[in-house]
Structure 1
Amino acid sequence: MKKILYILLGLILLVVIGIGALVTFVNPNQFKPLLTEQVKKMTGRDLVINGDINWRFFPTLGLSVGETEFRNPKGFAEPNLVQFKQADLSVSVLPLLSQHLDIGEMRLDGAHVFVQTLANGHTNLDGLMAKKAEAETTTTKNTITNHDQKAQWKVSVAGIKLVNASADVRNDQTKMVAQLNHVNFTLDSFQPQTWTKATFNVQGHVNALTFSAQGSTDLNLAANYKNVKLKALSATMSMIDGNLDIKNAQLGLDQFTLGQWSNVTFSVDGKVPNLNFDTHGVAKMKLAPDHNVITVQGLKITNDLVGKMLPRPTINLVVDADATYDISQKLALISQVTINANGTKVAGSGSYLAAAIPDIRFALSSDNIDVDSWLPTKSVATNNNTAKAAAAMNSPANTNFNTKTDISTQEPDLSALKNIDLAGMIAIKQLTVDNADIANVKVVTSVKQGIATINRFEANLYGGKVTGSASIDVNSTLPRYHLKNTVSNVDLLPLLKAVANNKLLAGKANITTDLRGHGLSEANIRHNIVGSIKVNVSDGSVYGVNIPDLLRNAKAKLKGEAETDTAKKTDFSALTATLKLDHGIAATDNFHLASPLIAIVGQGKTSLVNESIDLMINSEIVASGKGLDKIKGIAVPIHVTGTWQQPKYNLNIKDLFKNNAELESKAKKEINRGLEKLFGDKAKDDNIKNVADKLLKGLFN
């Protein structure tokens, strides 16, 4: 028993003597010049160790380093890039005898990092890696040429722990200010080719956005410290600012090795004003061995959206894509992407080149898109003033242009078109816009220097075809536009019925449009649009009026016969007109309608602002028979008034008889005969004759 006690006492004495020798013969402050010199060689910056380097004996043998600062170049807002208050190092004793500083764990308290980008683009990180590479090259040369010289001190670190660290990141170009605080980081060990666990948590804010994050991963450093492997990465985050509230964001990664596929999972649950979103997704990712190309396959992002700002109460948006990103060229290539929003699918490919003005190219296609189903339902005004205005507009006495229509004056914000370079093609097999069914749509479009252009548009429309081009220039106070298109052989009645619920006109339409103007609000379009629309409609009908029937009834009235009541439709073989638009007014002076029975010419105008009509039409019977023989060749004036939705047709009897003495004589006889039937013998009374004469003068003069 005594022998064992003697052995233990001997060991304790040996340790005490060893520690005493260590403290006596090895002064840790001799490492200061070594550290500062090596840092200067590697970075070109000064390392200032203000505090002493002292031995620490509890809980393990180690070193404590006082306040230390790693300097910034001149011209930055703070003097130090990195600084810390206290660093504690646990050290292996035996390697010191061979001039090897083997640090078991390094604990940094109160570390602070400051990174700044100046307005000229320079940062306080510039030059660090270049100096490091130069120093490594010099060290390699010295090792080769001086391999037989006395060995130098070597330094290694087994683990790192940051406690209550912080960081400030400023970008004077973008006015971004980020502050990280309560940063804690633990690395269990720091040895090459050995798996070790890292954990972190951090709080902070970026401008008005506040966030917190925490996570963990296992990592394995390569022997040269240049590459790293990861596995079991898990991170969570929450953030909030005035508009954005991310309650929970999660990121998971099964493993990461250069040149090998990694399985990534992510989810985000949050809200913005009037919109809640729940987003989650998966993908396979790979980083090339040269660190330059990121490849993504099987990316699938599912978004469940709920909110008042949506065109529908809920939307399920699913995006599938494969892509690559070239880091050096800043070029993303999307080989395929599919977007499915509640059954509306769009597929295609594209590219994105990051630059001062981003360059975007794309090709998209879809089998069916119903635009109307994604637009807000148009509200119908029901207040008394609107009702009175509508009644006034529909009144036969109202034929002027003073009735106002509630139209929007809000201009769309198209400023983004100035900062994008875009070109692409869109193909849609079936498209529904404003209730119109359009098939085989092809659009070639581009945006450059604030000018958006539809270089080519073509589509099939109700038995015919539409082709055209358009451009919008947003480089002026109000955007300027130019539209040209051609409508060929389109069935007009179903088109008007679908678009405007208008059943007034049928036939095969051929229309050429050339319009331009400034301002894209509905009000500015109606007020400022200029140009022409040439219309040629064949084999058609005008619904709501039967001009031959109007003439037959006028004749029947003169004879005291019963009026006919036939279908209110006027058939024609051709309808042609040139409509000239000029700042709120659309006018024509060459309206012509031809049919086997009648010929109609007209002129007039309509207001694009309040949709009122003032059109004078002259109708002439050009065929015999059908009870109209006696008025063949007579020009009959018809006045069209009212609105686009409710036009009114009035036969101008005064003008009808003014230039036809025979009809005027017959009409007067029929009127006198009616007065005799009404008043009998009193019809010859002078007073009644005077009243009758005034009535006839008012009718025929």
Structure 2
Amino acid sequence: MKAFGKILGLVLLGLLLIIVALGFALTHFFDPNDYKDEIRQIARDKAHIELTLNGDIGWSLFPWLGLELHEAGIATLANPTQPFADLQMLGLSVRVLPLLRREVQMSDVRVEGLNLRLNRNKNGHGNWEDIGKVPPAAAKADAPATGSISEPAAEIPATPEKPTQPIRLDIDSLTVNNARVEYNDERTGKQFSAESIQLSTGPVHDATNIQVKLTAFLASNQPDVRVRTELNGELRFERALQRYQFEDMKLAGEISGEPLQGKIVTFAAQGQLLLDKAANVAEWTGIKISANQLRALGELKVNDLDKTPQISGGVSIAQFDLAKFVDSIGQTLPTMAEGSLSKVELVSRLTGTPTSVALDDINLKVDDSSFSGRIAIEDFAKQSLRVQLKGDTFDADRYLPPTSAEANSAAVARQSEVKSTEADALAGVGSTPLPNAPTKGAWSSDKLIPAERLSKLDLDADLTFGQLTLDKLPIQNAALKATGQGGLLTLENLRGELYNGNFDAKGTLDVRQPVPVLSLQTQISRVPVENILESQGKKPPVKGLVTLNSTLTASGNSQKALIDSLNGTASFVLNNGVLLNANLEQQLCKGIATLNHKTLSGEPRGKDTPFQELKGNLTLRNGVASNPDLKVRIPGMTVTGNGDVDLRVLGMDYRVGIIVEGDKSDMPDPACQVNERFANIEWPLRCRGPLELGAKACRLDSERLGQVASKLAGDKLGEKIDEKLGDKVSPELKNALKGLFKR
């Protein structure tokens, strides 16, 4: 028995030596390089690809089925001379026996110098679409000839196929060095490339974490952008459950190129990625994103991957300097006040679809302002913007562009003209000549309305503010509601409280035509007019509570064009006011003293003229407002007038009449005693000059004063006729004599 065991051992050893010898013979005496043509033909017939083998083929048989390809290329049968892929070397080894159990156990897989070229021609056809396909000409040639009679093929009953078992992967590692992928679209001229691709993994097994590291340089030509990327993490896939995870994902890199104007953006992203195809869910949790100064946290979840994906999640952006961030990515913001957008932070819930996105429950802070509400783009293609925000305080002026150099120059020139006129007007009360009408334009010719951008806007905005500063006006409890569709913007409501008064406005802006058209209706109630003027840096010529109703239209794309085309109507009332630096009593004294042939001996008691009410109606035509019914109620006198306000140069030209209401108390100067003789006489004034001067631009109207003197002289002569003639002549004759002298 012992001898038998020894003999059996020798036999087994001999069989093993024979197997080893056969493997050695197959791998050393059978050279696959001698069969390259046959291998190429098998690739054509079975895989329908054109295989180029310029290098050597190395291989091993047992226990590893090893293969090395050098300088190989792959092309489609439709374009066999234009390979879409080539590589310098592919090396892999597979255990033979596990293949029988549908298990792929591989050693290190190495790919060197892979070059993949994807091209879409001018007809929109991609070269990758022909992979594995037989050219139409070859398919037709292989088809059986028609017209011959042959026996019908026997039908083979179909047998149900057993469900295939999933192949189990077991790879020690995967390494890709110096790979390149290029995409070229001949229709658009766009090109994309990924170069210097380096990929390395740890052991690849199902349902285990696989360490992955990938680096690449990405580029495009439209626009010219270059990106350096590095990706690290642990990949896990469970194919039976259709569940894929990328844990501890870390992506970092730099972006440069034409859109960044020579600047570089350094970016990074982290988190946990999950794709569950069975549940049609994808998630990105533990998000950390940075881009230069920007830092953000959040999470995203996508449901209904098999239908219309639904996005939900949240985002939190830490406080950062938005102005510096925009500059760091090579972009420019409109000119704003220094320090604007230096403190911006955001917390919000996020929802969306492939065509829309919404930020709900917003907590937004911009500099010294806080907002809450919702911002959404309901349709990316239509730019459908929906905004519902509530703010505490917001200074809009600091974010508006300053006036241009041209506008500043025009403003300086006009201000110089106003100051010169004002100095002349104040040189002597009522003694200087009537000021000249202003001639300098008061408005800018700068482009005001971004018509092209607004024509594409689909807007629905609802904004409220505890306090809004706009054009230096402090508006309390401001509310704005506006819509825009197809180039027609509608201001449904703009209202607020201003200096304890209130205002309300609505209107439309039509940019559907070459020249924008504006329509506006306003209501202002009991707002101190002096505060409005002071906020604009102007000295108010009048004080009082103004109430104004107006309906206006205009067209153009600058302040000047809009004012030049301003048309409409308005009515105004100014209550409990004061005409500043304008003593109408002194003007009246001067007229009475002139008629009394006396000289004023004293100075006026005050510089201002208080009034109870100032009102009138305006008809605007091409920037000029006609006011035919100006009325001012002043204690002891009534003032009426008519004239024009030229809004183009902010000038006025009025003829005013003052009526002394009966016998009044003594004036401070005997030369202008008001008695019954001067009661109910309309004393004429002319007001002309810059609108800012107000009543300071008023002077006694010498031409019309002569008519008043003639009337007074006629009245006095009539009294003498009555005294001399008494009842000696008829009333008709006395009236005829009075009328003769009044002429």
Same fold (TM over 0.5): yes
Distance 1:168 1:257, change over 3 A: closer
Matched, 1:253 2:271: yes
| Distance in 1, Cα, partners of 2:41 & 2:205 | 25
Is contact 1:541–1:569 with CA below 8 Å preserved after alignment? yes
Secondary structure of the corresponding residue to residue 560 of structure 1: coil
C-alpha separation between the residues in 1 aligned to 2:376 and 2:78?
Answer: 40
Matched, 1:574 2:613: yes
Contact 1:470 1:482 in 2 (8 A): yes
Which one of the candidate residues 255, 268, 273 is aligned to 2:291? 268
Q: Counterpart of 1:403?
A: 440
Percent of aligned positions that are identical: 14
SS at match of 1:300: strand
Does the C-alpha gap of structure 1 residues 386 and 152 become closer, same or farther in structure 2, counting only changes over 3 Å? closer
Letter in 2 for 1:211: V
- 2:396 aligned with 1:371: yes
More deviation, 467-476/575-584:
575-584
TM alignment of 1:219-618, pairs within 5 A: 219-224=235-240, 226-242=242-258, 243=261, 245-254=263-272, 256=274, 262-269=285-292, 278-288=293-303, 290=305, 292-304=309-321, 305-306=323-324, 309-313=335-339, 315-327=342-354, 330-375=355-400, 389=417, 394=422, 399-405=436-442, 407-499=444-536, 501-556=538-593, 558-618=597-657
Relative distance call for 1:49 and 1:301 in structure 2 (3 A) is farther
Q: Contact 2:633 / 2:639 at 8 angstroms: preserved in 1?
A: yes
Mapped to 2, the partners of 1:244 and 1:365 lie a distance apart of 38
Q: In 1, distance between residues paired with 2:120 and 2:655? A: 72
Q: For 2:163 and 2:652, how far apart are their aligned partners in 1?
A: 105
Largest Rg, 1 or 2: 2
Where 1:92 maps in the other structure, the secondary structure is: strand
Query: Does the CA-based 8 Å contact 2:93-2:107 persist in structure 1?
Result: yes
Shift of the 235–127 alpha-carbon distance from structure 1 to 2, 3 Å rule, reads same
Deviation, structure 1 residue 522: 1.6
Of the three residues 200, 210, 215, the one matched with 2:214 is 200
The answer to whether structure 1 residue 211 and structure 2 residue 211 are counterparts is: no
C-alpha distance in structure 1 between counterparts of 2:549 and 2:129, whole Å: 62
Residue type matched to 1:265 in 2? K
**1:648-667 pair list within 5 angstroms:** 648-661=697-710
Contact (CA 8 Å) 2:443, 2:648: kept in 1 or not?
no
- Kept after mapping to 1: 8 A contact 2:300/2:312: yes
- Counterpart-to-counterpart distance in 1, 2:51 and 2:101: 21
Alignment-mate amino acid for residue 49 of structure 1: L
8 Å contact 2:71–2:87 — kept in the other structure? Answer: yes
Could you tell me which amino acid in structure 2 is paired with residue 364 of structure 1?
L
Distance 1:665 1:612 in 2: 37
Q: Is 1:312–1:374's contact at 8 Å kept on the other side of the alignment?
A: no
Question: How far is the alpha carbon of 1:94 from its aligned partner?
Answer: 2.2
State the alpha-carbon separation in 2 of the partners of residues 320 and 12 from structure 1.
Answer: 74
Answer whether contact 1:399 1:614 (CA < 8 A) is retained: no
Normalised TM-score (structure 1): 0.77
Counterpart residue number, 1:108? 111
1:205-248, Cα deviation, whole Å (9 max, x unpaired) = 33222332222121111224844211222222222234262342
| 2:198 pairs with 1:184 | yes
Paired residue type of 1:538:
N
Aligned residue among 50, 54, 67 for 1:48: 50
- Larger deviation, residues 21-30 vs 543-552: 21-30
Q: Is the 8 A contact 1:49 1:66 kept in 2?
A: no
Counterpart residue number, 2:720: none
1:643 counterpart = 2:690: yes
Whether 1:92 and 2:94 are equivalent positions in the alignment is yes
Partners of 1:622 and 1:118 in 2: CA distance: 95
In structure 2, what is the equivalent of residue 631 of structure 1? Answer: 678
1:646 is paired with a residue of what secondary structure?
A: helix
Does 2:26 correspond to 1:21? yes
Query: Is the 1:170–1:177 Cα contact (8 Å) retained in structure 2?
Result: yes
* Stretch of structure 1 that moved more, 466-475 or 10-19: 10-19
In structure 1, what is the Cα distance between the partners aligned to 2:91 and 2:691? 88
Alpha-carbon distance change, 342 to 426 in structure 1, aligned in 2, over 3 angstroms: same
User: CA 1:665–1:440 in 2, change beyond 3 Å: closer, same or farther?
Assistant: same
Unpaired segments of 5 or more residues in structure 1? 1-6, 40-45, 129-141, 270-277, 668-701
AA matched with 2:525: S
**Aligned AA (2:376):** S
1:143 and 1:64 map into 2 onto residues whose CA distance is: 40
The alpha carbon displacement at 1:163 in A equals 2.6
Amino acid at match of 2:705: L
Asked if 1 retains the 8 angstrom alpha-carbon contact of 2:49 and 2:77, the reply is: no
Letter in 1 for 2:300: M
SS at 2:563's partner residue? helix
**Counterpart amino acid of residue 290 in structure 2:** S
Which secondary structure state, in structure 1, belongs to the residue aligned with residue 264 of structure 2? strand
Residue type matched to 2:378 in 1? L
Q: State the match for 2:134 in structure 1.
A: none
What amino acid is the match of 1:297?
A: G
More relative contact order, 1 or 2 (CA 8 Å, 6+ apart):
2
In 2: Cα distance, 1:24 partner to 1:61 partner: 16
Q: Distance in 2 between matches of 1:116 and 1:532?
A: 66
Three-state SS of the structure 1 residue aligned to 2:343 is: strand
Say which SS state the counterpart of residue 582 (structure 2) adopts.
Answer: coil
